[in-house]
Amino acid sequence: MQSSLYVALSSQIALEKRLTTTANNVANMATAGFRAEEIKFAELLGRSNRGEVAFVGPGTNTISRAAGPTTKTEAPLDVAVQGDVWLAVSGPKGTLYTRDGRFTMDATGQIRTLTGLPVVDPGGGPVQLDPQAGPPTIGRDGSLYQNRNQVGAIGLFTIDRKAALARGPDNTVSASIPGRAVQDFTRVGMIQGYVEGANVNPILEMTKLIAIQRAFESAASMTSEADNTLTGAVKTLGPQG
């Protein structure tokens, strides 16, 4: 089979993956704390009877760590993270990380995400409040106060830049290297009564969608031409009846 057909097919597969990723970014533009996803493709070299042929690799997904815009809500259990740090929650299979700081308090006083995942403190334990003591005051370092008494803290964690991030349930990510509790809050912290939005650039993502669609159509046309050329060659060189 012609190498051009394989090249065109590899391009279509890569473009379909990029289209799915970009469409998901666009669909979550209004999701609090959502992290946009990008794909990096590498060139794969193969050999044919005419020499080396370049194909598009399967691509590697990367979750963006860029900050999103913050919106004031004045809700006492809403927090927005500042800096390259993460909030942490207890997931079904271990610790997960999120930038979605829309929290609630259950009947027992435990702080949870909107989907019910327990928020953890710097030591990885649950964050517990007194449900009868009223709304807490939350400091920049995550410290929690009720009636002027510190009753706990919301943990902030740094994730090594070398760690691979993967999407988890309920707007979270998992990390290949566990996060470390923040000790120095000079450049990072959290602010109460605010929520961070998605770090998706709407104009950029919509532009990507248009470009990807056009590139896919071009690759599809190339595939069709290569297939027609192969079919014509078979008919021409095939046995003559």
Task: Report which DSSP code applies to 68.
Answer: P
CA distance 154 to 189: 11
The per-residue pLDDT for 210 is 87
CA distance 155 to 174: 16
CA distance 66 to 200: 9
CA 141 to chain centre: 25
The per-residue pLDDT for 225 is 59
Answer whether residue 60 shows pLDDT above 90. no
Q: Which amino acid is at 173?
A: V
3-state secondary structure of 208: helix
Answer whether residue 15 shows pLDDT above 80. no
CA distance 231 to 241: 17
Which pTM was predicted? 0.80
Q: Which amino acid is at 137?
A: T
| pLDDT per residue as tens digits for the range 66-86 | 999 999 999 999 999 999 999
Q: Which residue has the tokens 């610790």?
A: 95
Answer whether residue 232 shows pLDDT above 60. no
The per-residue pLDDT for 36 is 94
Helix (H) or strand (E) holding 95: strand 94-98
- Which range, of 60-64, 93-97, 135-139, 203-207, averages the lowest pLDDT? 60-64
Burial class (CB in 10 A: 0-12, 13-18, 19+), 132: exposed
Token output for 61: 């997904």
Q: Give residue 208's pLDDT band: very low, low, confident or very high (50, 70, 90).
A: confident
Residues making up the chain, counted from first to last? 241
Q: Give residue 222's pLDDT band: very low, low, confident or very high (50, 70, 90).
A: low
Instruction: Quickly count: other Cβ atoms within 10 Å of residue 155's Cβ.
Output: 23
Instruction: Quickly count: other Cβ atoms within 10 Å of residue 191's Cβ.
Output: 18
3-state secondary structure of 38: strand
Side-chain-side CA neighbours of 138 within 13 Å: the count stands at 26
